[in-house]
Amino acid sequence: MPDIRTPLARTPLERPRVIVTRHLVPEVEARMRELFDVVLNESDTPLTRDQLAAAMQDCDVLVPTVTDRIDADLIAGAGARLGLIANFGAGTEHIDLAAAAARKILVTNTPGVFTDDTADLAMAMIIGVPRRIREGTQLVRRGEWTGWTPSGLLGRKLAGKVLGIIGMGRIGQAVAHRARAFGLEIVYTNRKALPESVERMLGVRHVGTVDALMGEADILTLHCPLTEETRHLIDARRIALMAPGSSIINTARGELIDQEALIAALQSGHLAGAGLDVYPDEPNVDPRLIAHPNVMTLPHIGSATAEGREDSGHKVIANIRMWADGHRPPDQVLTALVRG
């Protein structure tokens, strides 16, 4: 296996052929026009599988997003010139990394740029679900609010409650940092415990298992990647471990939760509510979730800030330029290393 610190052994490309699968912010697209022989998707219509296959036959660099499923068959059929898949976004579960490595195609992503944006949105739902924000907003919009009353639309206070975080990477830590200001006790589980100094700084406590965390959390928030091991990580058995009246927040990936189990727990009243920015069959959202009065259903906007999307685009550009110059791109996904 080659040393990832060494330059790529190939001739640099002055203006690589780049195909972008979705419409990006104008500043990023303008810079790409300056630097690359680029084909942009100005209509922002997702490419069909046949269009993706054709694109991968006709470019040096493909710039996909989470909406593009780049599987082994597509990669096997890619043209010989395709050398880089420069993903727009941090997640890469939609790309078959092993197949890319087998074809000696590098894969990059854009980690870190959406940390604060996603943490802000998660925090909005951590506050909004216990305080029944959606329900109150709908009441006013329907013209059914009759005025203040001591017993009307009672929610749950945050201070003193336990927030359980699954996945303590950049976003999980950013959520913990925000949640501490609201008086929440924070417990977390992760593949590895954080250093004690970081735990003290964040004011968090490590819990060894997901089951143990579920038993403690009044509010659960998910910030782990989607893998075969984490698919349906939150199922009926684990939801039952939570105290009645708890809530679940998900800004990570929809498939982390068994949606039928979630809906059953909401309908039974075991869960008081949920905040969801992601779904297993996007853009389709189950009508039972939409109908529930205390489920905040958002359209996958965790990273939807002008600043974040521009920063992500410039990371894509930096990765392409480094690769085109014959060097290892800064955000290479290490599991996609070329195999010897």
Q: What residues are annotated to the active site?
A: 253, 282, 300
CA 70/CA 98 separation, integer angstroms: 11
How far apart CA 219 and CA 273 sit, in angstroms, is 10
All residues at 6 or more sequence positions from 199 whose CB lies less than 8 Å from its CB, including other chains: 193, 205, 206
